[in-house]
Structure 1
Amino acid sequence: MLFDFGATLNGYSADITRTYFCEEIPQEHRAFYEAVQEANRLGRDMTAPGVTPHELDTAVQRALSDAGFAADIRHKLGHGLGLDIHEAPQLMRGNHAPLEAGMVITIEPGLYRPGVLGVRIEDDVLVTEDGARSLTQLPRDPQVIG
């Protein structure tokens, strides 16, 4: 089950996604999930002032492709987050405007195989003076419910 949710506080938005499995995680689904989990970690670790959305999206999409899931990539890495849930900057190839300290962005790699499985792990990330800090505290490890 893929849950995409958030809240607002003083007009500012949160945007979080987690994927949960019911009863068990088949091995092929675990590999799918772990590729997204690693791509999310890479995106969060690379985020820093001066890094461009183009660089972030390219690296994360390459990681998903190198894991064997190129055909299952359906969207860009993420977007800016603030008064609107989706705002600039768009974290996608072709956007060469560098990130700046104080920006809040989403890192949300995903893989989708229609009729079979979809996995997205989305975190809200604050760009700091010397890197980034995840504002999302939910676990990223595979979770089984039910």
Structure 2
Amino acid sequence: MLTPVTDPDGAPFWEYAARGELRIQACADCGELRFPPRPCCPHCQSFASEWRAMSGRGRVWSYVVPHPPLLPDYAALAPYNVIVVELYEAPHIRLVGNLVSEVGAPLNSLDPHGIRIGARACFGYDETTGLPQWVLERP
């Protein structure tokens, strides 16, 4: 399985995610949220930053169901989905992950034909793979 590659700017994202928290980097001067993490604010050019807690809620903005040829470790899991989630607090920030039946479930635990653009999703973190996952928000 693929594992995240961290750099100094993005390492805090992964540290918070491992604790089940979704935090997004923000400029400590102008307050603008930014993702992916980077050293300088693209709006005011400040190098000051902080990590803000998000609700972990968003909506499915886009998705894809990969088809062969796939990476060998993922071929046996097909069909599975890869989704892009737009965060409610920051619609300009979109995160990639997999929509699963419950946190920690395999990538193919949800029928990809049932995914809909606009579906409400909640952030989770799979400790086994070290990757963020998304589950459908229950009404």
Q: TM-score of the superposition, structure 2-length normalised?
A: 0.29
Higher relative contact order (CA 8 A, sep 6+): 1
State the structure with more CA Rg: 2
Q: TM-score of the superposition, structure 1-length normalised?
A: 0.28
